[in-house]
Amino acid sequence: MVGQGAEAQGSCKITYGTSATVNVGTGGRLMSGGPTLPPMVLSGVGGETQFCIEGMIFTAGAALDWLRRSFNLGDHHAFEVLAAGANPDPGLAILPSFQGLGAPHGDLGRRGMIAGLSLATTPGQIARAGLESIALRVCEVVDKIYQLEGLGTCPDMVRVDGGLTGNNLLLQMQADLLGRPVVRHALREATACGAAICAGRGIGLLSPGDGVGFTSHDRIFEPQISADAAQTRREAWRVQVQLA
């Protein structure tokens, strides 16, 4: 969050890697959304501590790796090209809970599933459904956090980073389903940038406001579907993968 310049109360940052994490700033307030949405220390400078809430999706990039290997879908680039070229199949849905279902459900016994397969299902549609499943799980976590009292609504822009953000289709899906522009950090590993800024603050080279100057973004993904279409898809997916 420091590397993203997302330290203000209500700000939202999503990191996509082997797992995916959603962090929302709570300012000077120590807030919790329950066992699956614990409070975290965001930063501590000059005697002032800032907090955030974190929601973790246990399996994100690891689920895509499983799909690539199991269905022989090629490397990361080939996987994205295959998914981008496939027609969406609204009857197909994937739940990427290969290591249990993390936030906001906390169901460690839940396992992954692919629902709605038919003889007409193509490898590209499976790849596409895999990417969509990660974006849909992120939406669940974001929705749950912003239901907490005092946080308001999800901000107008959501900042993202992590290795998976090299996948443009995933980020377009995320913007569509969240109904918010998704802003990608120019450094995929923005966590390292944030650690460097914190080190600079810790030894007095940087003030709390200086970190913003190190934050740069290389692309904004704007929503391309209506809010009604996004909500319809989100609700249909929950039914398909049997989430209450």
Backbone angles phi, psi at 56, to 5 degrees: -110, 135
Closest CA to 124 of 183, 177, 67: 67
The CATH number of the domain holding residue 138 is 3.30.420.40
**Residue 209: is its pLDDT beyond 80?**
no
Residue 70 and residue 73: Cα distance in Å, rounded? 8
Count, residues in the chain: 244
Let me know if residue 79 belongs to a domain: yes
pLDDT, tens digit, for every residue of 127-169? 999 999 999 999 999 999 999 988 889 999 999 999 999 999 9
pLDDT tier for residue 210 given thresholds of 50, 70 and 90: confident
Let me know if residue 231 belongs to a domain: no
Let me know if residue 129 belongs to a domain: yes
The DSSP output letter for 210 is G
Let me know if residue 31 belongs to a domain: no
Average pLDDT over every residue of 31-46: 92
Enclosing domain of residue 128: 61-142
Closest CA to 157 of 181, 174, 175: 181
pTM of the predicted structure, to 2 decimals: 0.95
Q: Quote the number of domains for the chain.
A: 1
Q: 16-20, 74-78, 111-115, 204-208: lowest mean pLDDT where?
A: 204-208
